[in-house]
């Protein structure tokens, strides 16, 4: 299979050409990614959804993360990033439905399977009002182990260090009982969530995004 290629950039975001995923992360090229946080309301409460990464992911396996995120392939625009919603969660949405929440630059380095990776991303961040019931989501098994939701004010308190843990309701993929083929199905799940279980980013990222998500109106 042909390896995915990314458009790569210098520090000032001047395009340098393209590189494979492996080259991009080995050499530390800047590249672009798409972030989208899903939110909805239950009465007066605003809830925010977040995913649990698959345990076999090459970086941050099993951690809680942005509801949907992904790299832009070579030649794609940020508008094309909306495809990630369909691929990871089975949610159909148009780019015009997304609410821009800003742009962030992140740098991370470490070792995966004994190999150094340098991840330099410029990410456009969006919010989406989504009332689809959790049990109707279609999770991408290779990427997403589960999706959970929690009260936005409790999440903010969690990342500000005002709460040690909060309760979250969600769904997870599990092998269906008595399935001879190992068929996966969604099952309800409840978790106690701590801030250190999320992908390690500057905590200001999570706080800023959650504060801006408050502006995503239920009337959209």
* Helix, strand and coil percent figures for the chain, each rounded to 5: 20, 45, 35
Q: Residue 218: what pLDDT?
A: 65
Q: What is the CATH number of the domain that holds 208?
A: 3.90.79.10
Q: Residue 220: what pLDDT?
A: 52
At 133, give phi and psi (nearest 5°). -55, 145
> What is the total count of domains within the chain?
1
Structural domain boundaries enclosing 145: 5-213
- DSSP E strands, the chain: 5-9, 15-20, 30-42, 45-53, 64-65, 68-71, 99-112, 115-129, 144-151, 166-175, 184-193
Q: Residue 57: what pLDDT?
A: 85
Whether 94 is covered by a domain: the verdict is yes
Q: Residue 8: what pLDDT?
A: 97
Torsion of CA 129, 45, 188, 64, to 10 degrees: 70
Q: Residue 178: what pLDDT?
A: 65
Whether 53 is covered by a domain: the verdict is yes
**5 has which bridge partners?**
20
Q: Residue 216: what pLDDT?
A: 85
Whether 49 is covered by a domain: the verdict is yes
Q: Residue 215: what pLDDT?
A: 86
Whether 218 is covered by a domain: the verdict is no
Q: Residue 3: what pLDDT?
A: 83
38: nearest Cα among 56, 55, 25, 50: 50
Question: What is the pLDDT tens value at each position of the chain, 220 positions in all?
Answer: 678 999 999 999 999 999 999 999 999 999 999 999 999 999 999 999 999 999 988 778 999 999 999 999 999 999 999 999 999 999 999 999 999 999 999 998 888 778 888 999 999 999 999 999 999 999 999 999 999 999 999 999 999 999 999 999 999 999 776 665 567 899 999 999 999 999 999 999 999 999 999 988 765 5
Q: Residue 124: what pLDDT?
A: 98
Whether 220 is covered by a domain: the verdict is no
């Amino acid at each position: 299979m042909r390896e995915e290629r990314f458009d790569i950039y210098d520090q000032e975001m001047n395009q340098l050409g393209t590189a494979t995923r492996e080259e991009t992360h080995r050499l530390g090229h800047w590249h672009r990614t798409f972030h989208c946080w899903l939110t909805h309301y239950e009465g007066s409460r605003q809830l925010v959804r977040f995913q649990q990464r698959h345990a076999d992911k090459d970086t941050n396996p099993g951690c809680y993360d942005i509801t949907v995120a992904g790299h832009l392939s070579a030649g794609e625009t940020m508008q094309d990033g909306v495809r990630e919603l369909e691929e990871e969660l089975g949610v159909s949405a148009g780019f015009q439905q997304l609410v821009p929440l800003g742009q962030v630059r992140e740098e991370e380095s470490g070792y995966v399977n004994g190999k150094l990776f340098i991840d330099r991303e410029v990410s456009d961040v969006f919010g989406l009002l989504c009332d689809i019931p959790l049990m109707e989501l279609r999770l991408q098994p290779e990427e997403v182990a589960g999706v959970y939701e929690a009260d936005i004010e409790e999440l903010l308190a969690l990342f500000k260090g005002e709460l040690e843990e909060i309760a979250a309701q969600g769904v997870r993929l599990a092998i269906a009982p008595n399935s001879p083929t190992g068929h996966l199905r969604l099952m309800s799940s409840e978790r106690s969530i701590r801030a250190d279980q999320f992908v390690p980013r500057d905590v200001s990222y999570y706080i800023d995004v959650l504060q801006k998500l408050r502006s995503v109106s239920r009337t959209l």
